[in-house]
C-alpha cells in the first residue's frame, strides 16, 4: 500500500491511497471464501464451488464490491496510523481507479485549539435596574389581561373589539367568509389583509361596507402574493375595553395570597428584578465567552459545522421532515439556502464549545454523582406529569452523561465569570473567619 498525503487544508488531510495488486488479490480471495459459504450454486455443495464459478454466478462486480467494502476501511485505518493522524469523524472516500486500486480520502482532523490568556479577562456586569416605569408597564399589562369588553353605541375606534360578518373573494374564489367573527381593530395589522383594520374605523352598528385591499408582491404565501381580495363587511356590534381599577381587590384577583395593591407592586418589582438579573447574567456570560473567543485561535474541519447545523435544524423543526418542508415551501427557500443561513450560528457554537471544553481540562472541572443526582431531582420537581417514566429515562447512562455535560459546561462558564470579575482571587485571599 502506498499512501500520499497530498495536502492539509481546513483541518482536513487529503490522502491518496494506492493498493498493491497482491493486497487486492488477497482481499478478493477473502471475499470469495466469505460469499461462497452463503451462496447456493446448482451442482455444487455449499461452500465448495470454485472461485471462477462463483464469479459467473454472482458477477465479478459483486465480488469486487464485497472486496472494496472490507478492504477500504482496513486500508484507511492503516493509512491513518502510518501518517500518524488524529481523526474525529468518518472520512469522505472516493474510488478513483480500479486497476491498480486507488482511492482518495478527505480526513477530518482533531481540532487545533490555542487558548488565549483567559485568566486576564476582566469585565464588569451591567447594573440591574428596575424603574417605576417598568413596574407601571407590567401593572398595565395585568390590567389589560383582566379587562372586560362592554358594548358601546358609537363608531369603531382603534383597539375596539368588533363583531362582523365577512364575505371575501380572490379572483372570484372564496377567501375568508365568516359570520359573527370577533376581531380586534389593531392598527397596521396584516391580518386578514394589510389595511383591513383601517377600513373598519368609523363604521357604526349594522353598517355595511365593501372595499378592496392588496397583498404585497413579496408576501411569503405565493398563492396570494400581489393579489387583490374583495371584502364585504357588515358590522353587528362594537365593544370597548374596560380596564379594572388598581386597588386591593385587583391585587387579590391577580394572586389571592396578596393582601393589597402594595404587595402586588412588590411582587411585580421582585419578578422584574429576578428577570433582569437572569438577563444580565446571561448577557455577561456571553460577553465573557466572546472575549475568550477573541483572544484564542480555533481550527476545526467543516464536518463539525455541518453536524452542528443539522442539530440546530432538528431543534428548530422538532416535528421532522414534514415541518421543514412546509417551512421551505412558505419561505420559498431551498434546504441549502436555509443551511447557509444557519451556518454562522453553527460556527459560533462549535468554536465556543471547543474552547469551553479546553477550559474544562485546564481548570480540571468535574461533576460528582451527587451533583448529577441533585440536578435530576431538580428536573423531576419541575415536571408536570409522567414522573416515573421521566425518572427511568433520566437515570439511563446516556441521560446521566448528558446531564453531566450540561453541569460541567455550566461550572466552566461560572469559572470564567469568576475570573472575569476577579472573584477567584478574592475568594482565595479571604481568611477562614471571613469565609
pLDDT surpassing 60 at residue 152: yes
Give pLDDT, residue 241.
95
Report residue 429's pLDDT band, with 50, 70 and 90 as the boundaries. Answer: very low
10 and 106 together in one domain = yes
Q: Give the number of domains in the chain.
A: 5
Query: Is residue 424 within a helix (H) or strand (E), and if so which, with residue range?
Result: helix 423-428
324 and 258 together in one domain = no
Residue 218 burial class via C-beta count within 10 angstroms: exposed 0-12, middle 13-18, buried 19 and up: exposed
Task: Tell me the average pLDDT of the chain.
Answer: 92
pLDDT surpassing 50 at residue 431: no
215 and 137 together in one domain = no
- Alpha carbon distance 262, 218 (integer Å): 50
Chain segment 227-284, per-residue pLDDT in tens: 999 999 999 999 999 999 999 999 999 999 999 999 999 999 999 999 999 999 999 9
Residue 194 belongs to what domain range?
148-242
- Considering the entire predicted model, what is its pTM? 0.76
CB 312 within 8 A of CB 345: yes
Residue 351 burial class via C-beta count within 10 angstroms: exposed 0-12, middle 13-18, buried 19 and up: buried
- Alpha carbon distance 246, 260 (integer Å): 10
Report residue 174's pLDDT band, with 50, 70 and 90 as the boundaries. Answer: very high
Give pLDDT, residue 150.
96
Is residue 309, in this structure, part of any structural domain at all? yes
- Alpha carbon distance 397, 400 (integer Å): 5
238 and 153 together in one domain = yes
Is residue 329, in this structure, part of any structural domain at all? yes
206 and 219 together in one domain = yes
Give pLDDT, residue 320.
84
pLDDT surpassing 80 at residue 407: yes
- Which of 31-45, 297-311, 343-357 shows the lowest per-residue confidence on average (mean pLDDT)? 31-45
Mean pLDDT across 83-108: 94
pLDDT surpassing 90 at residue 434: no
Last residue of a domain, one of 86, 110, 134: 110
Is residue 117, in this structure, part of any structural domain at all? yes
- Alpha carbon distance 358, 364 (integer Å): 10
CA distances from 266 to 135, 245, 273, 435 (A): 9, 18, 10, 32
Q: Report the candidate in 188, 175, 218, 226 with the shortest Cα–Cα distance to residue 330.
A: 218
Q: Could you give the angle at the alpha carbon of 195 between the alpha carbons of 183 and 230, nearest 5°?
A: 85
Amino acid at each position: 500500500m502506498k499512501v500520499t498525503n497530498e495536502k492539509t487544508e481546513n483541518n482536513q488531510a487529503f490522502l491518496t491511497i494506492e493498493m498493491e495488486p497482491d493486497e487486492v488479490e488477497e482481499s478478493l480471495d477473502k471475499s470469495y471464501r466469505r460469499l461462497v459459504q452463503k451462496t447456493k450454486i446448482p451442482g455444487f455443495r455449499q461452500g465448495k464451488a470454485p472461485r471462477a464459478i462463483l464469479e459467473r454466478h454472482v458477477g465479478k462486480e459483486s465480488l469486487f464490491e464485497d472486496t472494496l467494502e472490507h478492504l477500504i476501511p482496513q486500508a484507511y485505518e492503516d493509512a491513518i496510523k502510518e501518517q500518524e493522524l488524529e481523526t474525529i469523524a468518518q472520512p469522505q472516500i472516493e474510488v478513483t481507479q480500479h486497476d491498480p486500486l486507488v482511492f482518495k480520502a478527505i480526513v477530518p482532523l482533531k481540532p487545533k485549539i490555542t487558548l488565549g490568556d483567559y485568566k486576564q479577562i476582566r469585565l464588569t456586569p451591567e447594573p440591574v435596574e428596575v424603574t417605576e416605569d417598568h413596574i407601571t408597564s407590567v401593572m398595565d399589562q395585568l390590567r389589560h389581561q383582566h379587562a372586560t369588553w362592554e358594548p358601546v353605541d358609537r363608531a369603531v375606534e382603534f383597539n375596539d373589539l368588533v363583531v362582523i360578518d365577512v364575505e371575501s373573494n380572490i379572483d372570484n374564489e372564496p377567501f375568508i367568509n365568516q359570520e359573527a367573527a370577533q376581531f380586534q381593530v389593531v392598527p397596521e395589522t396584516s391580518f386578514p389583509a394589510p389595511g383591513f383594520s383601517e377600513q373598519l374605523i368609523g363604521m357604526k352598528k349594522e353598517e355595511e361596507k365593501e372595499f378592496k385591499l392588496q397583498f404585497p408582491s413579496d408576501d411569503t404565501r405565493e398563492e396570494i402574493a400581489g393579489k387583490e381580495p374583495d371584502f364585504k363587511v357588515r358590522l353587528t356590534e362594537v365593544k370597548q375595553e374596560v380596564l379594572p381599577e388598581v386597588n386591593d381587590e385587583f391585587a387579590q384577583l391577580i394572586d389571592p395570597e396578596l393582601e393589597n395593591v402594595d404587595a402586588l407592586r412588590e411582587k411585580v418589582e421582585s419578578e422584574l428584578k429576578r428577570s433582569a438579573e437572569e438577563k444580565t447574567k446571561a448577557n455577561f456570560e456571553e460577553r465573557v465567552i466572546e472575549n475568550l473567543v477573541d483572544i484564542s485561535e480555533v481550527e476545526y474541519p467543516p464536518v463539525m459545522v455541518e453536524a452542528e447545523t443539522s442539530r440546530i435544524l432538528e431543534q428548530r423543526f422538532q416535528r421532522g421532515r414534514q415541518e421543514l418542508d412546509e417551512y421551505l415551501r412558505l419561505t420559498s427557500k431551498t434546504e441549502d439556502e436555509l443551511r447557509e443561513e444557519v451556518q454562522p450560528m453553527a460556527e459560533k457554537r462549535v468554536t465556543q464549545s471547543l474552547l469551553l471544553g479546553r477550559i474544562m481540562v485546564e481548570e480540571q472541572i468535574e461533576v460528582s454523582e451527587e451533583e448529577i443526582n441533585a440536578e435530576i431531582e431538580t428536573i423531576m420537581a419541575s415536571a408536570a406529569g409522567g414522573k416515573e417514566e421521566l425518572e427511568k429515562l433520566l437515570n439511563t447512562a446516556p441521560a446521566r452523561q448528558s446531564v453531566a455535560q450540561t453541569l460541567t459546561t455550566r461550572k466552566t462558564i461560572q469559572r470564567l465569570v469568576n475570573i472575569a470579575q476577579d472573584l477567584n482571587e478574592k475568594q482565595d485571599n479571604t481568611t477562614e473567619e471571613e469565609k
